[in-house]
Amino acid sequence: MKKLEKEEEIKLVQRCLAGDEEALEEFVSHFQKPLFNLAYRLCGNRDDAEDIAQESLVRALENLKLFKGESSLYTWLYRITVNIFYDYTRKKRELSYDQLRYREEENESEVDFPSEETVEGEMEKRNIQEIVQMEIAKLPSYYRTVLVLYDIEGFSYEEICAMLQKPLGTVKSRLNRARQLLKQKLEKYRELFEG
Amino acid sequence: MSKRIEMKCERIRELLSDYINGDLTQAARSLVEIHLESCPSCRAELAKLERMRSILHSFQPVEPPYGFTQKVLASYRARRERQVSPLRRFFLGGLQPRRALAYAVISLLLVFSLSLLVLLPRWTRAKQALSFPPSPTLKRAPSIISARGIGKVLILPQTPYPNQQGILRLEIMIYPPYRKERVWLNLLLSPGLSLANGNPFLPGEKEIYLGAIDNPVAFWTDVKVIAEGVQWVRVSCSSDNINWAEGFLFLPPPGPPTHYLAISQNDIDAIQLLATLVERCRRPVALPFTLSARLNFSYQGDAEGAIHYYASLLGLTSLKYNSGFILESP
């Protein structure tokens, strides 16, 4: 879907604020895909991505009157999504839910799951993108965000600085660090770099 | 390799990310290029970074789930509706202001006294039950838990198996993702379980109103096992009819794993449970017979949809559970 021009963005926002139901639908259907994709790349699974994208869109509609048109609507919406994603990772960390679950599974399960060392065999079953996506989801959230915005979503430094409200130096160093960390994580999948 | 060269490599590697972005000054760029010509190990690093970047660039956009637009709009409208007083909507639609005011005052009084009558016992009971802190039994995690939604619900049995009266105490812990308003908690039990005495639910009801919560809350409830076999419990939390957290607990029967849970094709909850579990495993699930080749459990799409789809394609009549999953064809 093509990006809206600045004037089109403002018109759409004004129609939504005036209570035009068609405009609301237009707004959601226009922005749902980019926001869902961002959420999916950030959290690595569709269930959580759906919740994060839905919450972002609803919150954006509720707060539309706060959008002053200083940045582009995309930047504003992406900022909301990233903030909701940070909330989500914070809650997830507090819960440390996965630790509980895996420990229990290891103790009780009789199914012979492959160990970490057999990742080579796994390459045949999963495609490369799935593996990379899985490893991205293990990066610390601040690094993950910059990597996803720059390397997958293709935003410029300027746009990312506006979304995250961080200086250029911070964004660049986070990107550098994120790439290093991801590369380290991917090095165990030898075929990835041989192919 | 001498220490000096190693240090140089380290310094050059720090610049490689900026180098592939084209962010370096001409001088720094030449410095990196001169070093790369003579250093195969840094060249290999650069190749890895470039390969990784090309994989990231090749990511294809994914589609939001079917019906997503309507779901978002429904959630937005539900929240907006709540902000407008229902009384105002009803009475001020086409009435004279004075009469509307009189109606509003009378109805307000009526609604207030009625709601006190109906909700007070319920709220006090719910509040009492909610004052229980999470107990130290957290050490023992449930045999299988799964969760769905932006918040989390954990269901933790206090003992592995029910006591001699068949009663099992469950701790239910709710973790809202952020402040959640108008929260309802809904409990669903497998047919072999029923609510025992000593729980926050009113007789005949399996939901309680929690109001606004911004911190984790925990409470307990007793369930009674009334039939043999594997049992399950599902707890979900919703605000304005939108589910934001869901937790499952699977209770295997005591003894060696000889019992199976048969899940019929129409048992949506159980299939959802299976799908969620499979997805949460994030690793291949051992499937002991030939169907495994056709069932792609590393499926990245909509897990429930995939299970439904594959189940119907294969004409499956049952899915069995026994410390792992077994799918059975007719």
Q: What is the CATH number of the domain that holds A128?
A: 1.10.10.10
Same domain, A70 and A132: no
Mark yes or no for CB contact A95/B48 under 8 Å: no
Same domain, A133 and A66: no
Beta bridge partners of B223: B168, B195
Question: How far is it, in rounded angstroms, from Cα B152 to Cα A97?
Answer: 9
Which DSSP category does B201 fall into? S
pLDDT for the residue B262: 41
Same domain, A93 and A19: yes
**Going by DSSP bridges, is the β-strand pair B217-225/B193-195 parallel, antiparallel, or unpaired?**
antiparallel
Tell how far CA A178 is from the center of its chain: 14
CA distances from A148 to A33, A182, B287 (A): 15, 12, 34
> Which of these three, A113, A138, A165, is where a domain ends?
A113
Best residue in A111, A117, A161, A174 for a mutation probing chain B (most B CBs within 10 Å): A111
Cβ-contact B56, A41 below 8 angstroms: no
Same domain, A81 and A162: no
**Paired tokens of B304:** 């429930």
Q: Please tell me the number of Cα atoms within 13 Å of A162 on its side-chain side.
A: 13
Asked whether residue A194 is domain-assigned, the answer is: no
Asked whether residue A193 is domain-assigned, the answer is: no
Same domain, A84 and A124: no
Question: How far is it, in rounded angstroms, from Cα B234 to Cα B296?
Answer: 26
**Residue numbers in A near B301 (CB within 8 A):** 46
> Which of these three, A65, A92, A113, is where a domain ends?
A113
pLDDT for the residue B58: 85
pLDDT for the residue B292: 27
CB contact, 8 Å: B244 with chain A?
Answer: yes
Instruction: Name the helix (H) or strand (E) containing B269.
Output: helix B268-281
**Residue numbers in B near A87 (CB within 8 A):** 177-178
Same domain, A120 and A108: no
Same domain, A108 and A157: no
Cβ-contact B167, B211 below 8 angstroms: no
pLDDT for the residue A182: 93
Same domain, A41 and A131: no
Where in chain B are the domains? 3-57, 77-121, 132-259, 261-330
Same domain, A126 and A109: no
Mark yes or no for CB contact B286/A47 under 8 Å: no
CA distances from B51 to B4, B22, B58, B218 (A): 28, 16, 11, 48
Could you tell me the pLDDT band of residue A33, with boundaries at 50, 70 and 90?
A: very high
> Which of these three, A113, A140, A172, is where a domain ends?
A113
Of residues B167 and A1, which shows the higher confidence score?
B167
Q: Which of B23, B150, B284 sits opposite A88 (nearest CB)?
A: B150
What value does the mean pLDDT take over residues A113-140? 66
pLDDT for the residue B101: 67
Question: How far is it, in rounded angstroms, from Cα B168 to Cα B159?
Answer: 7
**Going by DSSP bridges, is the β-strand pair B193-195/B145-148 parallel, antiparallel, or unpaired?**
unpaired
Could you tell me the pLDDT band of residue A57, with boundaries at 50, 70 and 90?
A: very high
What value does the mean pLDDT take over residues A105-132? 51
Question: How far is it, in rounded angstroms, from Cα B255 to Cα A75?
Answer: 57
Angle at B195 between CA B172 and CA B137, to 5 degrees: 35
Mark yes or no for CB contact A104/B142 under 8 Å: yes
Mark yes or no for CB contact A108/B257 under 8 Å: no
Asked whether residue A95 is domain-assigned, the answer is: yes
CATH no. for residue A60? 1.10.1740.10
Per-residue pLDDT of B123-165, as tens digits, reads 444 333 333 223 222 222 233 333 456 777 777 777 766 777 8
The boundaries of the domain holding residue A166 are 116-188
pLDDT for the residue B202: 62
Provide the domain count of chain A. Answer: 2
Mark yes or no for CB contact B63/A33 under 8 Å: yes
Which DSSP category does B208 fall into? E
Amino acid at residue number A81: T
Question: How far is it, in rounded angstroms, from Cα A21 to Cα A34?
Answer: 21
Q: Tell me the pLDDT of chain A averaged across its residues.
A: 80
Asked whether residue A120 is domain-assigned, the answer is: yes
Q: What are phi and psi of B117, to 5 degrees?
A: -60, -45
Is the confidence at residue A46, as pLDDT, over 70? Answer: yes
Q: What is the 3-state secondary structure (H, E, C) of chain A?
A: CCCCCHHHHHHHHHHHHCCCHHHHHHHHHHHHHHHHHHHHHHHCCHHHHHHHHHHHHHHHHHCHHHCCCCCCHHHHHHHHHHHHHHHHHHHHHHHCHHHHHHHHHHHHCCCCCCCHHHHHHHHHHCCHHHHHHHHHCCCCHHHHHHHHHHHHCCCCHHHHHHHHCCCHHHHHHHHHHHHHHHHHHHCCCHHHHHC
Best residue in B56, B70, B83 for a mutation probing chain A (most A CBs within 10 Å): B56
Minimum distance, in Å, between the CA of residue B117 and any CA atom of chain A: 34
- Which stretches of chain B score pLDDT less than 50? 91-95, 123-147, 255-270, 276-330
Of residues B116 and A165, which shows the higher confidence score?
A165
Q: Tell me the CATH class for B132-259.
A: mainly beta
Of residues A149 and B3, which shows the higher confidence score?
A149
Same domain, A82 and A129: no
Q: Number of helices (H) and strands (E), helices first, in chain B? A: 9, 12
Angle at B233 between CA B289 and CA B121, to 5 degrees: 170
CB contact, 8 Å: B288 with chain A?
Answer: no
What value does the mean pLDDT take over residues A177-182? 93
**Residue numbers in B near A147 (CB within 8 A):** 56
pLDDT for the residue B134: 30
Is the confidence at residue A173, as pLDDT, over 50? Answer: yes
Mark yes or no for CB contact B73/A28 under 8 Å: yes
Same domain, A105 and A127: no
Nearest CA among B186, B251, B197, B192 for reference residue B221: B197
Same domain, A89 and A20: yes
Question: How far is it, in rounded angstroms, from Cα A177 to Cα B220?
Answer: 45
